Amino acid sequence: MAAGDLQDGKRGAYQAAGVDLGAADEALGRIRAVVASTYTPGVVRGLGAFGGLFALPTGLREPTLVASTDGVGTKTVIATATGRLRQVGRDLVNHCVNDILVQGAEPLFFLDYVASSRLDPGVVAEVVTGVAEACREAGMALLGGETAEMPGVYVTGQLDVAGTVVGIVERAAVVDGGSVAEGDVLLAFESGGLQTNGFSLARHLVLASEDRLNAPLPGDPAGRTVGAALMAEHRSFLPAVRPLLAAGLVKGMAHITGGGLPGNLPRSLPAHLGAAVRRGSWPVPAIFEHLVALGDIGVDDAYAAFNMGVGFVLVVSPTDVDAVRELVAASPAGDWARLHEIGEVVAGSGVRLE
């Protein structure tokens, strides 16, 4: 649905909820402005008002769409408890962008879904503002979305946030790990936190005592509370990786989501190859040490539940490591875009933690 429709949909939902439309109008004004701010040249405006229209980019020989739907899990609960709803909007988009980035796709447009037992227009506006911010940063349009009020389905005060990204890639440029060979190097970007996975376990550990969320995080160089560290941004690796794709320097990529390194790294490798990963070769953020200590969690369980500090992995030829480091350093990505050589591709299968 187009922006006008998005607003109408959200308005309809507010009216159905008996929400004060004065407050809703203010929120709708914010939503209208942030949605419009994401519009890229591909968005077709003024043609009807039911679905969102997007003109396909031209010039690709075999244009291939890549699509992914995802949510942010129960990071929404921590977001609600800490008042950081804009952050989960950003997290949602970045998660989806990374999911199609691993195949080499450039994002075109996004659609969001926000649902709760009753919609608070201010809450929706905050989430959508975060969604729109991250869409703008990725260079894609927020083409549509849906809000749903589902009394009796959602626990009062809680919400779910999901979304769908559609991107495009030249078929011959799809990154599929097919050329990965034994001895290739694993270069990792830091996650900076949990991203959007492992929150049900983290909540179980942290919310067992109410004070824990607001307590200072032991050993955190940034001096954050546990809640703030849990809400660390799920980064978009697109700005750091885009120049590498243009240069054809990446053989495989893995976005470290649910299942951690053991669950995701093998998906970037051919079936006959595995990964040897050296623990200690990258910094593990304090939040993971804290969660592991709280739950007395073993190493294998911790690496299966959490990303343990690795957000995204590149598989590159040993001869390309320096060129990759240079392009990333010159990319518009932030200070976080440091690469760590965390291991290599080996014969066999799965992930061997050393």
Q: Which of residues 251-280 bind its own copies (CB under 8 A)?
A: 255, 258-259, 263, 267-268
Q: What are the distances in angstroms from CA 80 to CA 83, 129, 196, 197?
A: 5, 15, 14, 16
Nearest residue to 161 (alpha-carbon basis) of 266, 84, 59, 268: 84
Q: Does 7 bind its own copies (CB under 8 A)?
A: no
Q: Does 69 bind its own copies (CB under 8 A)?
A: yes
C-alpha to C-alpha distance for 39 and 30, rounded to whole angstroms: 15
Cα distance from N-terminal residue to C-terminal residue, the chain: 49
Interface residue with its own copies, options 18, 22, 41, 50 (CB under 8 A) = 50
Strand partners, 347: 273
Q: Does 45 bind its own copies (CB under 8 A)?
A: no
Stretch that binds its own copies, among 54-62, 285-293, 311-319, 335-343 (CB under 8 A): 54-62
As a residue count, the chain comes to 354
Question: Does residue 169 contact residue 66 with C-beta atoms inside 8 Å?
Answer: yes
Which is closer to its own copies, CB of 229 or CB of 305?
A: 305
Which is closer to its own copies, CB of 150 or CB of 329?
A: 150
CB of 267 to its own copies, least distance (A): 5
Q: Does 166 bind its own copies (CB under 8 A)?
A: yes
Q: Does 195 bind its own copies (CB under 8 A)?
A: no
Q: Does 123 bind its own copies (CB under 8 A)?
A: no
Interface residue with its own copies, options 68, 129, 191, 195 (CB under 8 A) = 68
Which is closer to its own copies, CB of 120 or CB of 286?
A: 120
CB of 163 to its own copies, least distance (A): 8
Q: Does 121 bind its own copies (CB under 8 A)?
A: no
Residues 128-157 touching its own copies, rule: CB under 8 A, are 143-146, 148-155
Strand, coil or helix: what is 323?
helix
Q: What is the DSSP letter of 61?
A: S
Residues 81-120 touching its own copies, rule: CB under 8 A, are 99-100, 102-103, 105, 108-109, 111-113, 115
What is the CB neighbour count within 10 angstroms for residue 296?
8
C-alpha to C-alpha distance for 103 and 250, rounded to whole angstroms: 10
Contacts for 293 with CB less than 8 Å, ≥ 6 apart: none
